[in-house]
Amino acid sequence: MVADAKALPMPSITKGPTDTPLNNFGIGQVLIDAARLHRDRPALISAWQGRTLSFAELAVAARQAAAALVAHGIGPGDRIGVWSTNRVEWIVVQYAASLIGTILVNVNPAYRQTELGYVMEHARCKALFLVPSFRDYSCIEAARAVRAASPSLEHLFLLDESEHAGAWTWSAFIARADETDPATVDRFASKVTPHLPASIQYTSGTTGAPKGATLSHFNLVNNAEQIGRRVGLTPADRICLPVPLFHCFGMVVGVMSAFMHGTSIVFPGETFDAGTCITAVEREACTMVYGVPMMFIAMLNHADFDPSRLTSLRGGLMGGAPCPAEVVRAAIEGMHMRSIAPLYGMTETSPISFQVLPDDTFEQRVQTVGVALPHVEGKVVEPGTDTLVPIGRQGELCVRGYLVMLGYWENPEATAKAIDADGWMHTGDLAILREDGHIAIVGRIKDMVIRGGENIFPREIEEFLHTIPEVAEAQVFGIPDPLYGEQLCAWIRPKPGATADPDVLRNRCKGHIASFKIPTLIRFVDEFPTTASGKVQKFRMREIEDERRAAAASQETSS
């Protein structure tokens, strides 16, 4: 008797359901529909500003700002930057731009003058909306310097009422709305089609130059709806949103998804603060909290943390970095977030492609990032090829569907490297497709560091470090960190006679690169581990740092 042939392994390819059709309208229509369906319900509650806008009020404010944009000579296809922390005006500008087909350029508030200048010039922004300062940095001074050097940047609009030479206050900007015929706004709005670009979001580049992921109305509207549908958003929900709006997590996963489902958004503070978040949840009876794992860790360990203050919570979303099992468990048990849902995505995919299901087990929530969203395809291939690996084997995760970006702004070469001829976005992440259809993210092909939800490419930091007189050579990589997920470590080979002082180097970085890009650990070395051909081995540096930390921990325990 001949034994049955062993079954061939199933290939690692998966696809979300397609039973619900995709939407075919622009972002502006989302707010128009929300104002009609949920007129007097709160859309935005900015706790730190002491302001609440209903959906109807927000729709009126956005249309007024759209008219003001037109009065200032800004229209369809023009680019405008927003360089700000979380506030009501950020959202007003976003929806104003979307109504008339203007493209929003999201700018990280932690950027400094050089980084701002690159983005403004690369996108050829016509205007920049900004706050006067961020922490101890003068944004208005940097913006004025950038405008002086950028031929395309015509206007600086402040998002508050502070007066600064060369910039419009918020009320002065809005006051010009009356100069625009309402029919002009309607005409521009009628020409906004779903596949036009809506937002350019810059991601750090491996060569030091950020790339502008260009996302369409179609990308963003549909991703926003599907995220909210899977998490079960309703008009009765209120989301505490400390995630920054410049990032897809805040703008799309947070605000746009909420508006698609008539859900209210609460800004607890201008930036993240654990105590402020706890207070906002309690005072506003929030039902959900969104954040990166670091934010949940900070709240759970805050001096004011008390489960009895958070009884209104039912769930939330956690993403932007690997979600430790103990953090998810603590959020469920200590914060009452029974339906907390880890998710996975990247800016280039609008951003979410995989998300856990409402009835997933605890094991599925902490070991995977869920299953594909509707109309999304995923596959796992041998890195550098299109060859599918069997289910259960590690490979590079690729994603295809409506959510894949239009491309990198004015960078067809980078676009072609990221998106293949068949429309698959190569994520650069190592993943395993399990038999239950869930995706587990197990690592990254490249050396990208994810610190508290911020994607950082070491090459960019290395190039700046090489401009410092004391530095002969620099290598930057990520090391594990219990709070941020990862921190930056820099190995520096100093120039002969140079002072090897970590604080001196950090001070050299301040004001030139964003604070989250400044290495936490700086180690001075005489040489780097290399291959026989002279290629630097960053993996070996990580191993050495791991060994040092393990030895230090062992010594501390024994003493």
Domains of the chain, first to last: 27-356 (3.40.50.12780), 449-558 (3.30.300.30)
Position 204 scores a pLDDT of 63
- Whether this prediction's pTM lies above 0.75 is answered by yes
CB 327 within 8 A of CB 297: yes
Q: Please compute the mean of the pLDDT values over residues 197-204 and round it to a whole number.
A: 91
Position 442 scores a pLDDT of 81
Reduce the DSSP state of residue 105 to 3 states and report it.
strand
Of the pLDDT bands very low, low, confident and very high (cuts 50, 70, 90), residue 7 is low
Reading phi first (left if > 0) and then psi (alpha if -120 to 50, else beta), residue 138 is in: beta
Kind plus residue range of the DSSP H or E element containing 324 = none
The span from the CA of 93 to the CA of 88, in Å, is 9
If 0-12 CB within 10 Å is exposed, 13-18 middle and 19+ buried, where does residue 387 land?
exposed
Of the pLDDT bands very low, low, confident and very high (cuts 50, 70, 90), residue 311 is very high
The span from the CA of 179 to the CA of 188, in Å, is 16
Q: CB under 8 Å to 148, separation ≥6 — which residues?
A: none
Report the mean per-residue pLDDT for the chain. 92
pLDDT tens digits, 119-138 = 999 999 999 999 999 999 99
The span from the CA of 355 to the CA of 353, in Å, is 7
Indicate if the pLDDT at residue 421 is higher than 50: yes
The span from the CA of 399 to the CA of 376, in Å, is 7
Kind plus residue range of the DSSP H or E element containing 52 = strand 51-54
Reduce the DSSP state of residue 84 to 3 states and report it.
coil
CB 36 within 8 A of CB 5: no
pLDDT tens digits, 428-471 = 988 999 999 999 988 777 777 888 888 787 878 887 898 888 88
pLDDT tens digits, 500-548 = 899 999 999 999 999 999 999 999 999 888 754 456 788 889 999 999 9
Position 33 scores a pLDDT of 98
Q: Please compute the mean of the pLDDT values over residues 73-91 and round it to a whole number.
A: 98
Position 280 scores a pLDDT of 98
Position 519 scores a pLDDT of 95
Q: CB under 8 Å to 132, separation ≥6 — which residues?
A: 138, 139, 140, 158, 160, 162, 164
Of the pLDDT bands very low, low, confident and very high (cuts 50, 70, 90), residue 154 is very high
362 phi and psi, to 5 degrees?
A: -60, -40
pLDDT tens digits, 231-277 = 999 999 999 999 999 999 999 999 999 999 999 999 999 999 999 99
User: Would you state the structure tokens that stand for residue 380, as one six-digit string?
Assistant: 């796992």
* Identity of the amino acid at 364: Q
Indicate if the pLDDT at residue 169 is higher than 50: yes
Other CB atoms within 10 Å distance of the CB of residue 294: 22
Q: Please compute the mean of the pLDDT values over residues 482-496 and round it to a whole number.
A: 91
Position 3 scores a pLDDT of 43
Q: CB under 8 Å to 550, separation ≥6 — which residues?
A: none
